[in-house]
């Protein structure tokens, strides 16, 4: 049986997938994405559960990360209020 644990604050999870680089241009796009992501996350309170999942408490920041990731690959934005 699963136990549900309510969270004190809502958290937002952004998971993204960048296409595997196959050409010089795709390498450039991938590098550009990670540079922009690094600038966006600099000095922010974020957690990374894996290399491609970011956990934040601020919806606006989560939305910016999601939009950036969608610009260069695929992304999903989840709102979590409880853990199962």
Domain of residue 13, CATH code:
3.30.70
Nearest to 68 by CA among 7, 14, 2, 5: 14
Work out whether the CA dihedral 36, 48, 11, 8 comes out positive or negative.
Answer: negative
- The whole domain housing 16 covers 5-83
**What is the total count of domains within the chain?**
1
pLDDT digits (tens, 9 = 90+) for 7-66: 788 899 999 998 888 899 889 999 999 999 999 988 787 777 667 999 999 999 999 999
Which is more confident, 27 or 5? 27
């Amino acid at each position: 049986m699963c136990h549900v644990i309510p969270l004190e604050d809502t958290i937002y999870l952004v998971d993204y997938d960048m296409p595997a680089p196959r050409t010089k241009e795709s390498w450039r796009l991938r590098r550009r994405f990670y540079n922009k992501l690094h600038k966006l996350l600099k000095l922010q309170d974020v957690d990374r559960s894996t290399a491609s999942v970011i956990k934040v408490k601020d919806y606006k920041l989560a939305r910016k990360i999601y939009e950036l990731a969608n610009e260069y690959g695929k992304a999903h934005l989840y709102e979590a209020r409880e853990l199962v």
